[in-house]
Amino acid sequence: MKRLINPPRAASAILLCAAALAAAADTDVYSVRDFGAKGDSKTDDTAAFQKALDTAGRSGGGVVCAPRGNYFFAGHLNLPGAVTLKGVWESVPSHVGIRDAGSAKPTDDGTTFLVTENRGKEDGAAFITLGSGSTLKGVVIYYPEQDPAEAPSPYPWAIAMRGKNPAVLAVELLNPYNGIDAGQNERHLIRDVHGQPLRRGIFVDSIYDIGRIENVHFNPWWSMKPRLFQWQQEHGEAFIFGRSDWQYVINTFCFGYNIGYKFVKTASGVCNGNFLGIGADDCYTALVVENCAPMALLISNGEFVSFHGPDPTMVRVEAGNAGSVRFVNCAFWGPCNQIAKIAGKGTVGFSDCTFVEWDRKGEGRHALQVAGGTVMVRGCEFQADKAQIELGEKVRRAVIADNILTGKPRIMNSSKGTVNLHDNAGN
């Protein structure tokens, strides 16, 4: 059995790994310290980590422990199948405001990875690539060369998930340019991930067996300094979904991005799935659908807020969409221009939703502006005494029924298709 080296400043962390060792029936738990890792924030620990990971991989799998320390990396890591790389955190940590003074000093309270490779090269290798059955857990990923007061430097993805059943658990993505590439795998699991990815948070694509994203929270804890935060709001995208056959997303949140949730068509196809309890606050556009699957995006109990940017909008469905999008029991507020702008040939439905604010400048904008496709608005509440719904000429079908309106009904119908309006109660 491997003996864990116990540096004085890492006693509590080593106890965790030692407990795992004591419980192991075989030599399937390893410490990166035994392979030469220093964790002193200046020695390159890439080779030591990779040697530990490869040793566990050759043994058929195992747990590689990284005790408390600030581990500096000039290169990148690959996790073999069935190998877990584990820091000291059992739940995701939080480092709110630790860079307020612009200091480059790393965190000093757990397992922190200081990433430096490929600055300025977005298309380089991911810092950590997971293989089949491999897991990353309990670490902080930090890019010390990012300046919290300036527009960020590009970097490759912090994490890439490949193979079957890769998992990222209890990880803080403190300030990566690109967070997690969750494409080209089966049954990925991303759970309890927090932080401030600057350009992209999570990208999902080429998933042919269900992927899962749970309890993910992206908030500008690392920096809200004006130049960097403005750049993030002009360019950042928190959650991006390409082809995924039944993606399950639950309890996710993002703040301060250009787009909160974005659904796109890639070379692999489009997304369908179940999205429950998702939220986007202070995004220029909370949710954008460029295209999605006919089997639908099922969005329930969502909360969406937009009030900054050139045209703050909660939902935008683009002209290229041919799929179905359903919002159920969702709330939309913030002094936006409009709740939704809908185009394309697909179907968009709002059921039991609450629309609080829109037309912030008093220009007479409707809450829901539908330029094409099919729309259903049923059992919703329009709380502002303003224009509610506009149907354009290319709207093929519409059912607008059983809604509660504030003030008189203001539904503009220019559709040349079939429109059913009934039982909408104004006051």
Q: What is the pLDDT of residues 314-366, one digit of tens each?
A: 999 999 999 999 999 999 999 999 999 999 999 999 999 999 999 999 999 99
pLDDT at residue 96, rounded to an integer: 74
- pLDDT reading at 422 higher than 70: yes
> Which comes out higher in pLDDT, residue 99 or 316?
316
pLDDT at residue 94, rounded to an integer: 86
Q: Distance of CA 66 to CAs 3, 26, 402, Å? A: 14, 19, 58
pLDDT tens-digit map of 250-304: 999 999 999 999 999 999 999 999 999 999 999 999 999 999 999 999 999 999 9
- pLDDT reading at 2 higher than 70: no
pLDDT tens-digit map of 298-317: 999 999 999 999 999 999 99
- pLDDT reading at 106 higher than 60: no
| Predicted confidence band of residue 98 (pLDDT cuts 50, 70, 90) | low
- pLDDT reading at 122 higher than 50: yes
pLDDT at residue 24, rounded to an integer: 46
pLDDT at residue 191, rounded to an integer: 98
Q: What tokens were used for 206?
A: 């080429």
The fold adopted by the segment(s) 1-235 is Pectate Lyase C-like (2.160.20)
Q: Which residue reads 């490759």 in tokens?
A: 156
Q: Model-level pTM?
A: 0.93
pLDDT at residue 312, rounded to an integer: 98
Q: CA 217, 315, 233 angle in degrees (round to 5)?
A: 50
What do you get for the CA distance between the two ends of the chain, in Å? 76
Q: How far is the C-alpha of 215 from the C-alpha of 190, rounded, in Å?
A: 8
Sign of CA dihedral 391, 392, 395, 397: positive
* Residue 299 parent element (H or E): strand 297-300
Q: Are 141 and 158 in contact (CB under 8 A)?
A: yes
> Which comes out higher in pLDDT, residue 353 or 103?
353
Q: Distance of CA 15 to CAs 1, 65, 107, 351, 407, Å? A: 15, 11, 20, 52, 65
Q: How far is the C-alpha of 151 from the C-alpha of 133, rounded, in Å?
A: 36
Number of Cβ within 10 Å of residue 30's Cβ equals 25
- pLDDT reading at 99 higher than 90: no
pLDDT at residue 385, rounded to an integer: 97
Looking at this protein, which amino acid is placed at residue 59?
S
Phi, psi of 23 (to 5 degrees): -85, -15
